[in-house]
Each structure stands twice: as C-alpha cells, then as structure tokens.
Amino acid sequence: MAEQKRSDTLPRLIAEQELAMNHSPLIVMAQGLGAHKLVAWLGVILATSDDAHAKSSARGAVFVVNVRDAERDEWLQFTATLLQRSASISKDTEGSQQDVLLLPPRFVDAEYSRQERVEAYQAGGIILVTARVLLTDLLRGELSASSGLIRAVVVMDAHINACLEYGMIGFALRLVREEHSHARICAVTDRPEKVSSGFHGAAVRAKAARASALSLWPRFHEVVQGYIANATRSGIELVEVSIRLPSKVLQIQTALVKTVQTVVRELQASTQNGVDASEFLQPGEKGVHAIVHSRFDDIIKGQLLPVWSKCSPKTRQLVCDLRTLRELIVDLPRLSCIQFWSRLCALRITEPKGSMWMVARSAQAIFTVAESRCWKVAADKQRVLVLEPNTKWDALRDTVCEIKTEIQSARNLEGPSVRKKARLEEDVSSPSNTPSSAGAEALLNNSSRVLIITRDAETVEQLSHVLRGPAEVHEWMKVELNEILNGKHVDTETNVEASESEPDPEVDINATSLNAANSAMTEWSDIEGSITVAIRPIHESLRFGFLDEFGPSFVVLYDAALPCIRQLEMFRASRPGRALRVYLLLYENCSESSRFQAALDGEVKAYERLIGEKKSLVFAEDLGADAAKHADSFGEAATGSARFVPARSGLGSDRDSRVTALQASHEGREKQVIVDVRELRSPLPAIMHARGTRLIPTTLTVGDYVLSPRVVVERKTLSDLISSLKAGRLFVQAEAMLRYYPVACLLIELGPEHAQSVGNAEGGGIGGDVVGEDAHAAEMYRAVSMNAALGKAGFGDPGNATSPMSRLVLLAQAFPKLRFIWARGPNHAAILLESIKATEKEQPDEEFAIQVGRLSGANLSDGVLSLAEDRLEESFNSDAVAFLRTIPGIEPNVIPRIAEQCESVAELFKLDIDGLASVLASRANAQKVFKFIHAEAPDFASV
C-alpha cells in the first residue's frame, strides 16, 4: 500500500506496460505527468530486467540521452534511489545481475577520455550521456556491433529538432539501429502539440526514433484517470479568483488593438491583399477578442512564409512590428506600471527607424496613458510620482491573508482533534510522505505551508516585496524607478535588485532560504509560526521531489500553467487523505485568461490528431529488418545522385566526363571525410553518412570538413556568415585554411526561406575546376550577380561599405584562391561536397587535420611537423602580404608572382622601374610602386 502512494507510481505503471507490449515505443504523454520519472523507470527496468532481446549483451549499458542540464544531478540521484529500491526488492537475483543493480548511474561527457568512456561502457548499468559523445563514439567504432555494449537507448524530449531524421540524436539512433539490431530504443516526450505539428508529424518523429509503436498517454487516458481518481477520491479543490483590469490598463490594451489593426491594414496594402487578416479587423469586441486571445503575428507570418524571400523590407518590418505589439499585449497584465513604462522607453530607443507602429495615431495613447500610470501633473505643472497599484498584487495578499485566517481558526477551534487526526494520518501515511524526525507536529506544520508559483525569478523578487505590505511595495517601486531614470537598467527582463527596507510591522516576516544553493526560491514565516509561504518559479517548482519535500497544503498559481496543474494532481494522488487547495489568479478580458484554456484545448486537439494519424501509421520494423536498417530515403542515393549534381556553367562537357570517369574509377573505394565534432549538430553530416560517406569526427582547429590532403571546407549558414563577416572571424579562418591547405572552400548554406535567392542548381558549386582562375572569376561574377536577391534576404546592399555583401567582396579580393560554394540547403550541400570528394584520389590525413593550426610547432608530432613545413613552403608571410596589399599599384593577383621572384620586400624595393615592370607585368603599376617607394617622408617636426 505504501508503494502505491508514491508520486512515481504512475510513471512506473506506464514504463512496465510499454516495455511489456512494445519493443521500441515512442511514448507521448501529457505535460505534468512525470516524463523525467518515466525515463528513469525505463532505464531502471531495462538495466535490471533479463530481456530476451539483450542476450547477446547481458552486460550492455542503457544509454539515456537528452536529459536537461538543470535536472541532471537530481535525475541521477532519483535514478540511483530507484536502483537501490529495486536491489532491495530483488535480493534473490543472480550475482552478476546484482552487480548491475548496485552500480549507480553515471554521467559521461566530453571531459572523459576515450579510454575512460570505453571503460564506463563496459561496466554496464545506466549511463547518462550527451548526444555528441554518443554519436562520436558510434562513428568511431567504440560502440560497434561486435562490442555489444549497447543494451538500450532511452531518449527524453523526443520532440526537439535534434531528434529528427538528420538531427544529432536522430543520426545516433539510426547508427544504433544499424549496428545493434537487438537494442531497444525508447523515446519519451510530453509535448504532443510538437509531435502532431507539421505534415505527418507523428510518422516523421516515429521514423526518426526508430519506433515500433506509437503510445499515447493523455490526461483522459483510462489508466491515468483511474490512478488519479483512486488515489485522491476527491479531486483538487480549485478556487478561481477573477481580477478586473484597471481602467488605464484597459485603455492601453484598446490602443494596442487599434495599432495592430492599423499595421495589419498597412501590411495588406503592401502585399496587395496577399494576407487574409479579416478576423483581426472585425469591429467591436470580436476584433479585440481575436487579437488579444491569439498569436496573430505567427498566423500572418505563416501566410507570408512561402514568399518570405521575396517580401520587401517594409513588409518584413511590419511583421516584426506585429510581433512587438503582441509581446506588449502579453506583458501588459504581467508587468507593473514602472516596468511597462520602462519597456516602452526602451522600444523608443531600440526600434528601427522604419518601424510603422510608432507613428500610428493610436500608438501615442499607449505612451501617454502608460506615463500617466506613473506620474500626474500637479497644479504648478510639476510631475508628481503616483504609482498605480497592481490589482493582482492586492488579490495575492488577500488570498494569503485568507489562508492564514483559515489556518488559525482551524487550530483554535479544533485544537486536540486536529492533532489526533494528524497522528492517525501519520500511522497510515507512506514513509516517503512523512518527515523522518517529525510526528503529528510536522504534519500540522505541513498543513500550514503555502506555495506560490510564478513565471520567473524576477517575479519571485517582486512578490517577496508584495507580501511585506503596500508600504514596502511603494518603496521598492521608487527604487526601481530611480534605477531606470539613472540608466542602470531599462530592460525589464533583467533581475531587479531587492530593497533593503524593513518589513511591514503588520506582516512581520523573516526571509529564509529553503535551499541555500537556490536563490530563485524564497520562504517566508510569520512570527507566530502559523503559516509558511514559499515563492517558486514554474521551472523550479517542477523539479524532482520539490513538492514532496515542501509538502504544501495550499498552492497559489500567480501565473497559470498547465504543467503545474497536472503535477499538482500527481502530488495530490501521492498523498491520499490529505487535502490540497489551489487558487488560480487570472485577469479578466486579457491574454492571460485565454492562455491557460488555449493550452488545454491545444493539447486535446493534438491528441485527437495523433489518434487519427495512429490508425494509418506504418512502422519500418513491420516491413522487415532490411527495411528498418535502410529506412531513410537516401538508400538509393548512390545510383540516383547523378541527376541532382548541378551542371557547371562556363565549362565544357569534357569536365563532366572526367568527373564521371574518376567516379567510376573510385567506385569501389570508401569515401572518408574528417568532420569537426561541432558540426555534428547540423544535418549535413547525417545526410553525407546516409549517402555512403564514412565520417571521422574529431576536433578541428582549421576548417569544418577535410575532404582530402588538399581540400578543406568551412561551412557557414547565412546568419553565421553575416556575424562572422562583421566580427572579422571569417578572415582569420580563410587565412588559416589557405595557409595549410592548397584548396580552401567556403560553403554558404542557405535556409529554405533564402533558397530561392540563388535560383537554380546552376548557381551553386565551386565553378568547376577547384584550382582554376577562370572558374574563380566565374563564381565571383555569379556571386555578385545575386546581390539583389540576397539583399532582400537580409544580406545587405553591396553599395553600402559595411554591408555583409561588401565584406564578402572584400574577402574574395583579399583571398583570391578561396573558393565559394553556394548551396540551397543541407541536401544540396551534401551533393556538392560529394562531387568535390569524387575528384580527389587521396584520403584525408586525420593526424595532420587534428594538429594543424596549433599555436606552435611544439604541439605537433615530428611527422606532422615535417608535413606542415612542406605545405608552408608554398605559403607566404601573412604580414608581408598584408603590407604589399596596401601599396598602390600592387594588385592581389600579382602577389604570388612577387613572392616567386623576390626573396623579401626589401629586395622588391631595390628594383628599378624596369625590374618592377617585369615583376608586376604592368609598367603603369610599376611607376606607381616606384613613386610610392621613393617618395619623401614628410617632416613632422616642422608641423
């Protein structure tokens, strides 16, 4: 009976049922039901059970991936507790199995050496590992099929993009399924709306997770409902407190709605009615409700997404304005009058000049009314500070006082009977729910504990002042205002420094810390000891075991969240016979009142879509082992990739014939590519591996992909390219690549919204011959000709000297040998790199690729150092080259010629005009250089 009252009973029931019925399930459960505990139970059961599928790897380890960093330590501790409980229950097991039971779970990351990781894998048990380490060891063969080190893999948060087919985790799961056909893969997620989103979302994620079944566990599931109903007998006592918005807040909300409608009309005019926004332009309350209770900016941008790359800057700015306005509508009921006014002041400074909503007539009312909430103009025309009270703060204080009064009345009236009831409850309670060193008095103290849950740590700081009383709130807001006026902080997202004023004598409370290591949670106790109030952020209140540790009898949801309600239900079910009352504070007629209901409705609709999709879902394992092993669509890429390779403009057909002949000659040779481990987060390595390329992951200092001893590639997405150009980082990377490799390529990978900017496949590639000067000129002309389209994609105007396009042109001028590869996406990039790899006869040198680019030769081995010195003989002194570029008359393309004919810059300066003309191949340029060298230095002393 005591075991059934634990809060982890439901996750254990789900884990046992899923592992008994399905080999590799994808489990989609409702938020708040304990997904992290389910992952722990799956790991414990898989590690301790005698699974028939794991006979070949009885000592294999269970790998757990993607546990959140904030929950890692507590998850390891919780799992270790479960293992100890399992060990105490199974005392009559075999000795070898008992060793696995007693082995605690471990966390393995990149800090471990390769040998240490292998030893941890061989020891077995439960191993919490990062996705990068797991993928790296799979690619390097440390976890090969012959090793038998993988018993099962459990994935948490299977809804994220990294778990898709070509994400890092999805890539690792594909390797696990190919290498270890017996291993079980269990994927868990508590975000059904993410799984059901997109075209056949459940099928896509089930395929990526190599799942053999899709298991749905919504709140209305029969097992979940039965567990909660049997445990609680009566549900949570929910008290909804409706709060009216102040009149000035309603005025600001009305002005925001009118501004949104103005921006939407302007957007329709700029797109020639290409946006269907009639729902938001309805007159009266219908239009207000549609704007306040929806994500209107995402709806409108979704309509423009197919033509986003062709939208004008004005249209893009209007969409950004809609996002800003929606954030203001959401923050209006959340922030105090000072914070909201500070947010508006920050927008006046940070918003771009082209922002349309700032100049709207209704926008002026937003600033005027927001300022009037903080000041008023006196008779002498001086501004007087008048801070508008927050009605939700008043409701919170009234709620806490009501709880305190009720607890005190119950103690005074019932007295001994309450203590007798507490002793009876103590006798029947689970040891996990009863403090170890407390009896009835501890239970009475637990009944007076109040938990306030809010959205973030900043709000925790605010409410700590609110509970001290109105006087303390007023002083704190004055301090907040002084900091804003003095420019200490304007952004409302930063933490607010607490006021050091004394507490209100009427509510004399002392701030203590429930957990000294966690400053985001504050506990309050009044001097009478009749009530204890803890203020906790949402993400902190959902951590392992906090509710069991604190044991509240009253919970105040200052900010409503669906996961909190579910977890409170689970907590209530773990304490049979103990009451739990939840107060839900909500504003009326604002976005806050609709978010909770929208989250609930969205989850129900998501499960309805998943139930409908599950009826026609076909899993890869149903088609046989071969189909499961080669389930991805690139299984026939080796025979069908030729039609995807882009034609090379400006070159004859003989080039393609030579490539085809070379590919045919190397058909039986394995393709190897060295890839930087940081690149494993992108889908490109997974696509290349699926196309038959063997990847060697390692840490590279120079480049991202090494295709051969000659060719190195640096990959940049469009956003990363822009930031690298602005920071100057790309110039350093290009110099390093050209210093150590004869052929350096810059791969620019565009996203789907920018793919149309580069046109057809003829616009990609490296211009044919990797080392040909004509090809470089052709690709430079092609890159410059795309500047108009890239300008619409946010790449800048080439006429502006500081734009990314201008910086890219300067990069090409500074490094003429640098090759540019334009790819429409990761699939196109994989095809282009594969075509380059086909022209190379030699495999890349891993030892040289790892040690190249180090600061000194002392870090290089003897063999690699000699190889580096041989390659550097063809390179030039970067400082001398940079100096030559500054001399008028010396073009970048003649610098290699100068280096061949002159030993140093001093030797060049000793030449006469005829000698310079011979070196520079231009008498006009020779005269400019000669004039610069022999010009008289100015006499600065006489100035």
Buried/exposed code over 422-454 (b: 16+ C-beta within 10 A; e: otherwise): beebbeebbebbbeeeeebebbbbbbbbbbbbb
Residue intervals of the chain classified under CATH 3.40.50.10130 are 672-759+795-853
pLDDT score of 854:
59
CATH class, domain 672-759+795-853, is alpha beta
Query: Quick one: 378 exposed, middle or buried, by C-beta within 10 A (0-12, 13-18, 19+)?
Result: exposed
202 vs 438, residue with greater confidence: 202
Reported confidence tier of residue 427, pLDDT bands at 50, 70, 90: very low
Average pLDDT for the chain: 75
pLDDT higher than 90, residue 127: yes
Q: How confident is the model at residue 877 (pLDDT cuts 50, 70, 90)?
A: low
CB 239 within 8 A of CB 642: no
Does residue 234 register a pLDDT over 60?
no
Q: Which among 58, 57, 103, 51 has a CA at the least distance from the CA of 79? A: 103
Q: Among 192-206, 240-254, 545-559, which is the least confidently predicted range? A: 545-559
Who wins on pLDDT, 696 or 596?
696
Residue 779: what pLDDT?
A: 52
pLDDT of residue 437: 36
* Better-scored residue on pLDDT, 50 or 843: 843
Report the CATH architecture of 864-934.
Answer: Orthogonal Bundle (1.10)
Instruction: Express each pLDDT in 879-902 by its tens digit.
Output: 777 788 778 888 766 777 788 788
Highest mean pLDDT among 653-657, 721-725, 745-749: 745-749
Lowest pLDDT segment from 243-257, 464-478, 681-695, 709-723: 464-478
User: Looking at per-residue confidence, does 439 or 38 come out higher?
Assistant: 38
pLDDT of amino acid 773: 45
511 Cβ contact partners less than 8 Å away, ≥ 6 residues apart: 464, 522, 523, 524
Q: Does position 415 have pLDDT exceeding 80, yes or no? A: no
pLDDT surpassing 60 at residue 432? no
Higher pLDDT, 893 or 534: 534
The answer, yes or no, to whether residue 144 has pLDDT greater than 50, is yes
Predicted confidence at residue 796, as pLDDT, reads: 60
What digits encode the pLDDT tens for the residues 243-296? Answer: 888 888 889 988 988 888 888 888 888 887 677 777 777 776 666 777 776 777
Bridge partners of 535, per DSSP, are 452, 522
In this prediction, residue 43 has a pLDDT band, given cuts at 50, 70 and 90, of: very high
pLDDT level of residue 746 (50, 70, 90 thresholds): very high
Mean pLDDT of 544-553: 80
Spatial separation of the C-alpha atoms in residues 675 and 768, rounded to whole Å: 23
Start-to-end C-alpha separation, the chain: 97
- The 3-class secondary structure across 300-357, one letter per residue, is HHHHHHHHHHHCCHHHHHHHHHHHHHHHHHHHCCCCCHHHHHHHHHHHHHHCCCCCCH
The stretch 495-520 carries a mean pLDDT of 34
Question: Encoding tokens for residue 390?
Answer: 């927050």
Rg of the chain's alpha carbons, rounded to an integer? 34
CA–CA–CA angle 45, 46, 47 (5° rounding): 95
* pLDDT tens digits for range 446-486: 567 888 888 888 888 888 888 887 777 777 777 777 776 66
| Contact between residue 281 and residue 261 where contact means Cβ atoms under 8 Å apart | yes
Select, from the ranges 142-146, 166-170, 444-448, 811-815, the one with the highest average predicted confidence (pLDDT).
166-170
Give SS3 for 107.
strand
Number of DSSP helices (H) and strands (E) in the chain, helices first: 42, 22
Maximal C-alpha separation, the chain:
114
Higher pLDDT, 631 or 20: 20
Nearest to 192 by CA among 66, 28, 25: 28
Does residue 590 or residue 853 have the better pLDDT? 590
Task: State the Cα–Cα distance between residues 145 and 533, nearest whole angstrom.
Answer: 55
Check: CB of residue 793 under 8 Å from CB of residue 752.
no
Collapsing DSSP to helix, strand or coil, 714 comes out as strand
Backbone torsions φ then ψ of 295, nearest 5 degrees: -90, 75
Q: Which range has highest mean pLDDT (283-297, 338-352, 384-398, 833-847)?
A: 833-847
In this predicted structure, the answer to whether residue 305 has a pLDDT above a threshold of 50 is yes
Q: How do strand 61-65 and strand 125-129 relate by DSSP bridges? A: parallel
Give pLDDT, residue 679. Answer: 92
Q: What is the average per-residue pLDDT within 743-756?
A: 79
- For domain 225-242+388-413+447-486+521-589, give its CATH number from 1.10.600, 3.40.50, 1.25.40, 3.30.750: 3.40.50
CATH 3.40.50.300 positions along the chain are 10-90+100-217
Q: Which of 167-176, 570-579, 741-750 is the least confident region?
A: 570-579
662-677 average pLDDT score: 69
Helix (H, G, I), strand (E, B) or coil at 759: coil
Span 40-66, average pLDDT: 74
pLDDT attached to residue 534: 86
More confident residue, 234 or 508: 234
Q: How far apart are CA 251 and CA 441, in angstroms?
A: 51
Does domain 10-90+100-217 fall under CATH 3.40.109.10? My reply is: no
What's residue 318's pLDDT?
A: 87
- pLDDT confidence band for 560 (50 / 70 / 90): confident
Following DSSP, what letter does each residue of 444-477 receive, concatenated? Answer: HHHTTEEEEEESSHHHHHHHHHHTT-HHHHHHHH
Each residue of 789-802: pLDDT tens digit? 555 555 665 566 67
Looking at mean pLDDT, say which of 473-477, 534-538, 771-775 comes out highest: 534-538
Q: Give every strand in the sheet of 522-526, ordered side by side.
A: 237-243, 581-587, 554-557, 449-454, 532-537, 522-526, 509-512
Contact 346, 298 (CB under 8 A): no
Q: What percent of the chain has pLDDT over 90?
A: 17
* Lowest mean per-residue pLDDT among 442-456, 737-751, 807-821, 827-841: 442-456
CB 79 within 8 A of CB 126: yes
Residue 182 has pLDDT above 50, yes or no: yes
Q: What is the DSSP string of 864-916?
A: HHHHHHHHHTTS--HHHHHHHHTSTT--GGGHHHHHHH-SSHHHHHT--HHHH
- Whether the CB-CB separation of 705 and 674 falls below 8 Å is answered with yes
pLDDT number for residue 31: 87
CA separation for the pair 853, 868 (Å, rounded): 9
Task: Quickly tell me which residue has 């978010």 as its tokens.
Answer: 595
Query: HSE (CB half, 13 Å, CA atoms) of 909?
Result: 11
- Which has the higher per-residue pLDDT, 23 or 291? 23
Binned at pLDDT 50, 70 and 90, residue 26 comes out as: very high
Q: How many CA atoms lie within 13 A of 62 on its CB side?
A: 26
In percent, the amount of the chain with pLDDT more than 70 equals: 72
DSSP string, 517-563: T-TT-EEEEETT-S-EEEEEEHHHHTSTTHHHHH--SEEEESS--HH
Q: 3-class secondary structure for 592-656?
A: HHHHHHHHHHHHHHHHHHHHHHHCCCCCHHHHCHHHHHCCCHHHHHHHHHHHHCCCCCCCCHHHH
